[in-house]
């Protein structure tokens, strides 16, 4: 599926639900087999790939981060038993997320899984996922994989790494777009305030998503220029 012109998150989730239902068919019978690492590893790559496709993430994004970014619950369980099962599942997932060695940047932005997956509005896309995951057209990320000569930001004081933190919250090149988004949501963007403000109102989500879309498209343009002039 295309990252920028393919289906939106809701439709990607629908396709993922088909795969999920096939994976979990008769799970009550074979669930104990998941205690064996070799069996569990057979399922994990497929589920991870589904999560990457749902949130349009780079393949280098960890499974832990991809699953958090991609998930959103639609609807409320109709029975008390299902509601209790969901709460238990979320608690276990939260414990794993807090202890996971990977996806720590995403954890800083999305520490509370229940608030994120239970939101009433907002879909992720290719540009938003790049900032939430830290894997995208950032020079530090590109340099890490040998796709850029320098990891630093050319527009800011020497030594400032061009990563998701820098670009989203302090880079001088993004100040006009950032201020526009901050005026729209009525507060200063920060690591701590970003996701709560997005979850607060649908308009806030749209403002932040548009901001990230604008800056990530610009970074992609600059990357192409550097590659073309090399």
Q: Are residues 98 and 135 in the same domain?
A: no
Q: What share of the chain in percent tops pLDDT 90? A: 68
Query: pLDDT tens, 126-140?
Result: 999 999 999 999 999
Separation between Cα atoms, residue 56 and residue 184, nearest integer Å: 26
pLDDT computed for residue 74 by the predictor: 74
Query: pLDDT tens, 182-218?
Result: 999 999 999 999 999 999 999 999 999 999 999 999 9
Q: Are residues 98 and 174 in the same domain?
A: no
Token pair recorded at residue 147: 């796709």
Q: Are residues 141 and 195 in the same domain?
A: yes
Separation between Cα atoms, residue 119 and residue 68, nearest integer Å: 13
Token pair recorded at residue 90: 């979320």
**19 within domain boundaries:** yes
**69 within domain boundaries:** yes
Q: What share of the chain in percent tops pLDDT 70? A: 99
Separation between Cα atoms, residue 112 and residue 93, nearest integer Å: 10
Separation between Cα atoms, residue 72 and residue 63, nearest integer Å: 16
Taking the model in full, what pTM does it have? 0.91
Asked if pLDDT for residue 65 goes beyond 80, the answer is: yes
Q: Are residues 93 and 147 in the same domain?
A: no
Asked if pLDDT for residue 116 goes beyond 90, the answer is: yes
**Residues 170-187 as b or e (16 or more Cβ within 10 Å = b):** ebebbeebbeebbebbee
Separation between Cα atoms, residue 164 and residue 139, nearest integer Å: 10
Mean pLDDT, range 12-17, rounded to an integer = 82
Q: Are residues 97 and 133 in the same domain?
A: no
Asked if pLDDT for residue 230 goes beyond 70, the answer is: no
**3 within domain boundaries:** no
* Contact between residue 55 and residue 124 where contact means Cβ atoms under 8 Å apart: yes
Name beta bridge partners: 161: 152
Q: Which is it for the CA torsion 85, 202, 210, 184, positive or negative?
A: negative
**38 within domain boundaries:** yes
- Show the DSSP H helices in the chain as ranges: 9-23, 27-30, 37-54, 63-70, 80-99, 104-109, 113-117, 126-133, 139-144, 164-169, 175-185, 194-200, 202-229
Q: Are residues 133 and 179 in the same domain?
A: yes
The alpha carbon of 104 is separated from its chain's Cα centroid by a whole number of angstroms, namely: 12
pLDDT computed for residue 24 by the predictor: 83
Query: pLDDT tens, 39-63?
Result: 888 888 888 998 998 999 999 999 9
Asked if pLDDT for residue 84 goes beyond 80, the answer is: yes
Find, among 156, 136, 108, 161, the residue nearest to 220 by Cα.
136
Q: Burial, 194: exposed, middle or buried (Cβ in 10 Å; 0-12, 13-18, 19+)?
A: buried
Q: Are residues 134 and 177 in the same domain?
A: yes
Asked if pLDDT for residue 78 goes beyond 80, the answer is: no
Domain containing 143 equals 126-229
Q: Are residues 66 and 135 in the same domain?
A: no
pLDDT computed for residue 98 by the predictor: 98
**117 within domain boundaries:** no
Find, among 133, 23, 120, 21, the residue nearest to 70 by Cα.
133
Residues 6+ apart with CB under 8 A from 47: 19, 20, 23, 63, 67
**13 within domain boundaries:** yes
Q: Are residues 99 and 158 in the same domain?
A: no
**17 within domain boundaries:** yes
How many domains does one find in the chain?
2
């Amino acid at each position: 599926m295309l990252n920028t012109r393919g289906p939106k998150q809701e439709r990607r989730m629908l396709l993922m639900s088909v795969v999920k239902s096939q994976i979990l068919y008769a799970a009550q019978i074979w669930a104990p087999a998941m205690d064996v690492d070799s069996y569990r590893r057979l399922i994990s790559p497929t589920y991870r790939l589904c999560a990457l496709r749902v949130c349009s993430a780079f393949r280098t994004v960890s499974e832990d981060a991809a699953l958090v970014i991609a998930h959103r619950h639609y609807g409320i369980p109709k029975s008390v038993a299902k509601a209790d099962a969901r709460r238990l599942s979320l608690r276990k997932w939260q414990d794993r997320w807090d202890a996971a060695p990977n996806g720590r940047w995403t954890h800083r932005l999305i520490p509370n899984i229940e608030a994120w997956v239970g939101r009433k509005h907002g879909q992720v896309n290719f540009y938003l996922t790049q900032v939430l995951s830290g894997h995208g057209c950032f020079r530090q990320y590109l340099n890490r994989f040998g796709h850029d000569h320098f990891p630093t930001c050319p527009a800011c004081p020497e030594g400032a790494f061009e990563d998701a933190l820098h670009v989203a919250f302090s880079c001088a090149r993004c100040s006009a777009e950032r201020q526009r988004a901050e005026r729209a949501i009525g507060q200063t963007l920060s690591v701590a305030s970003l996701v709560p403000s997005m979850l607060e109102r649908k308009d806030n989500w749209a403002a932040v998503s548009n901001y990230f879309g604008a800056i990530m498209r610009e970074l992609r343009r600059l990357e192409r220029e550097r590659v073309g002039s090399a």
